[in-house]
Amino acid sequence: MTKTQTTPATAAGPEVAAGSAQFLTPVTLGLQALAVNGKQAHWNVRGANFIAIHELLDSVVAHAQAGADEAAERIVALGLPIDARLGTIAEKTTATGVAAGFSQWDDIVRAVIADMDVVIADVQAAIDGLDEIDLTSQDIAIGIKASLEKDRWFLFAHLAG
């Protein structure tokens, strides 16, 4: 019988893997929280801008899920596991969250932007911290930040007067 061993997909050492996971794990968890809160907002938005916000939130959710997947897969590719179960996300994230029920579109937009700002701060910390550890992981974080900032801009444009 042959034993299967788990080995990293790269030649990066354990220090690189641990350092990258240190910075990418909060990004993964924050993005997963954003996806859950974004979907909650999507279902419960009300008001004059309903359809525009409702549809835009689907894009925010999809982009958050894609970013979380990319960050988590980088950690796993370096040979470490990721724990992004809902209980872990709830315990380790500081997203402000959206209301449990119906909310006016402008309140929803402000709440989602606040959640995005928390994740953007974690992503920026990852970009800064990964500069000396792993440029490939840093590149992933930079791409995630660009996507978040674009979605944030689209949401904020609804509030700008």
| DSSP for 65-117, written as a single string | HHHHHHHHHHHHHTT------HHHHHHH-------SS-EEHHHHHHHHHHHHH
d(CA 121, CA 117): 6
Question: Buried b vs exposed e over 121-140: b needs ≥16 C-beta within 10 Å?
Answer: ebbeebbebbeebbeebbeb
Q: How confident is the model at residue 1 (pLDDT cuts 50, 70, 90)?
A: low
Amino acid at 115: D
Asked whether residue 9 is assigned to any structural domain, the reply reads no
Asked whether residue 2 is assigned to any structural domain, the reply reads no
Asked whether residue 53 is assigned to any structural domain, the reply reads yes
Asked whether residue 46 is assigned to any structural domain, the reply reads yes
Amino acid at 6: T
pLDDT of residue 118: 95
Q: 3 pLDDT exceeds 80? A: no
For residue 3, the 8-state DSSP code is P
Nearest to 110, CA basis, from 41, 28, 35, 44 = 41
CATH of the domain at 18: 1.20.1260.10
The pLDDT tens digits of the residues spanning 80-135 come to: 999 999 999 989 988 777 888 999 999 999 999 999 999 999 999 999 999 999 99
Asked whether residue 77 is assigned to any structural domain, the reply reads yes
The pLDDT tens digits of the residues spanning 33-72 come to: 999 999 999 999 999 999 999 999 999 999 999 999 999 9
pLDDT of residue 10: 56
Structural domain boundaries, residue 22: 14-90+102-156
Residue in this structure with the two tokens 């980088």, named with its chain if needed: 74
Q: How confident is the model at residue 14 (pLDDT cuts 50, 70, 90)?
A: confident
Percent helix, percent strand, percent coil in the chain, to nearest 5: 70, 0, 25
Asked whether residue 37 is assigned to any structural domain, the reply reads yes
